[in-house]
Amino acid sequence: MLNKFDSSTDHQGFSAGTAAGNARNESTGHATNGKRARKREPASGAKKSSTGRQAVAATRPEFPFSAIVGQAEMKLALLCAAVDPGLGGVLIFGHRGTGKSTVVRSLAALLPPIRVVAGCPYNCDPEAPSAKCEFCREDSGTTRPNSRQVRVPVVDLPLGATEDRIVGALDLERALIAGEKAYEPGLLARANRGFLYIDEVNLLEDHLVDLLLDVAASGENVVEREGLSVRHPARFVLIGSGNPEEGELRPQLLDRYGLSVEVTTPTDIETRMEVVKRRDAYDQDPVGFVSSWKNRDARLRSQIKQARQRLPSITVPESTLRRATELCLSLGCDGLRGELTLIRAARALAGLEKDDRVNDSHLRRIAPATLRHRLRRDPLDEAGSSTRVERAIAELFDS
């Protein structure tokens, strides 16, 4: 499915069994709101796990994106979101061990590194420091801020993270010791210009998901509490993964995600062997393995860069727009978000394939990821949403 821009054969890295995987065992069996409750995690423990991750990341390069076997739709959706972060995030549904977390880390490692203002807790761009960032505003007297190059951030939202930890809160230590009212930035600050990854997003409390989607859409985190009044840039691609068997997502929330994909563990022997072979080679010699995929990753990186530049000039012919609308109408999507996202995602795909205009082929390939989570339940149709989208596409495009 990735054909034109996916030069490699098939790929995959399965879940590395990281901190997130271990933390999962801690979740309790409480049922609130039809969901398994997430156990509140003590702040110190949370901090420990994220530093642990950084330590690992510092010594071991990420699994190469182009070495991931199969999972074509997931990779396609993530690449489109990388080209156009405004698409509204990606939901990944699948069972454990299907490599959901690996693929996000691989993608971030694939992207061109970014320059950030040195010391800024929000990763501001030195070329365009945000007027909304307090740190950069105070510093703006100087000519050009000091900057450093960093890898695109991937921030994990751990199980049971509190609202304080997500949006930031009053720095209690400073308040108690120095009597100062200072703001301690949260996870949203660290995720600015990168990815916010939520494992098992379907277990996250609705109000937190709402909050995250709001911030992701506005690109800004506003904190008005405990006598604090802070706003800071928070532009990130929200990636939520979930196991569909463990709690549903409210349709109102589903509709707010840009893309959704379903991933499965491969069932044919050849593919499974290839997955194991590559993962084993990576585990034996991460540096050597990454270097053997370096050229393929570099090609993909340059495709993303070029697609981003090309994006504003890609046109959508009237006939293609009509097709998109017809498709959404035939599927009974509520509102117009379906069409808007479909066109936008198809444009990102056209960019990746070096096309100047969106065509039916782009629409067709990205439509399932754009629409399957926006369908109203049809009591007369037992088919799953993927099947319904595929069927509507076939009817529209093959007739």
Known catalytic residues? 337
Q: Which stretch binds Zn ion (CB under 5 A): 113-121, 173-181, 322-330, 345-353?
A: 113-121
Q: How far apart are CA 234 and CA 222, in angstroms?
A: 9
Q: How far apart are CA 262 and CA 91, in angstroms?
A: 8
**Minimal distance, residue 185 CB to Zn ion, in Å:** 10
Q: Which residue has the tokens 């993303």?
A: 304
3-state class (DSSP) for residue 387 = helix
Kindly write out the interface string for residues 62-101 of this chain, putting x where it contacts Zn ion by CB under 5 A and - elsewhere. Answer: ----------------------------------------
Burial 91-101 (b: 16+ CB within 10 A, else e): bbbbebebbbb
Burial 47-61 (b: 16+ CB within 10 A, else e): eebbeebeeeeeeee
For 319, residues 6+ apart whose C-beta sits below 8 A from its C-beta are: none
Nearer to Zn ion, 160 or 185 (CB): 185
- Do residues 161 and 198 lie in contact, with contact meaning Cβ atoms separated by under 8 Å? no
Q: Which residue has the tokens 């709001």?
A: 214
Q: Is 120 in the site for Zn ion (CB under 5 A)?
A: yes
Judged by CB under 5 A, the number of residues near Zn ion is: 6
**Minimal distance, residue 139 CB to Zn ion, in Å:** 8
Kindly write out the interface string for residues 123-142 of this chain, putting x where it contacts Zn ion by CB under 5 A and - elsewhere. Answer: -x--------x-xx------
Q: Which amino acid is at 198?
A: I
**Minimal distance, residue 216 CB to Zn ion, in Å:** 19
Q: Which two tokens stand for residue 152?
A: 């695109």
- Do residues 170 and 183 lie in contact, with contact meaning Cβ atoms separated by under 8 Å? yes
Written as one string, the DSSP assignment of 103-155 is HHHHHHHHSPPEEEETT-TT---TTS--TT-HHHHHHTTSSS--EEEEPPPEE
- Do residues 80 and 352 lie in contact, with contact meaning Cβ atoms separated by under 8 Å? yes
Q: Which stretch binds Zn ion (CB under 5 A): 115-123, 177-185, 211-219, 331-339?
A: 115-123
Of 14, 63, 65, 122, the one binding Zn ion by CB under 5 A: 122
Q: Which two tokens stand for residue 149?
A: 């190059």
Q: Which two tokens stand for residue 394?
A: 């076939």
- Do residues 200 and 24 lie in contact, with contact meaning Cβ atoms separated by under 8 Å? yes
Q: Is 234 in the site for Zn ion (CB under 5 A)?
A: no
- Do residues 95 and 288 lie in contact, with contact meaning Cβ atoms separated by under 8 Å? no
Helix (H) or strand (E) segment spanning residue 315: none
Q: Which two tokens stand for residue 195?
A: 């990815």
User: Which residues are paired to 92 by β-bridges?
Assistant: 241, 261
Q: Is 183 in the site for Zn ion (CB under 5 A)?
A: no
Burial of 239 (0-12, 13-18, 19+ CB in 10 A): buried
Nearer to Zn ion, 135 or 257 (CB): 135
Nearer to Zn ion, 118 or 273 (CB): 118
Q: Which residues bind Zn ion (CB under 5 A)?
A: 120, 122, 124, 133, 135-136
